[in-house]
Amino acid sequence: MPANPKYLTSSNSQKFAKLSAGILGGYVLSAMLHMVLALWVFDHKQVLITSVYSLFLIWMIFLIIPYFSKNGWKVWGVYLFFIIISAVLIYFGKQQFSI
Angle of helix 72-97 relative to helix 26-40, nearest 10 degrees, comes to 20
Q: Where are the domains of the chain?
A: 13-97
Give the separation between CA 10 and CA 95, rounded to whole angstroms. 45
Helical packing angle, 12-20 and 72-97, nearest 10°: 20
Residue from 75, 58, 59, 57 nearest 10 by CA: 75
Stated pTM of the model = 0.84
The tens place of each residue's pLDDT in the chain, 99 residues long, gives: 677 777 666 788 999 999 999 999 999 999 999 999 888 887 888 888 888 899 999 999 999 999 999 899 999 999 999 999 999 999 988 777 665
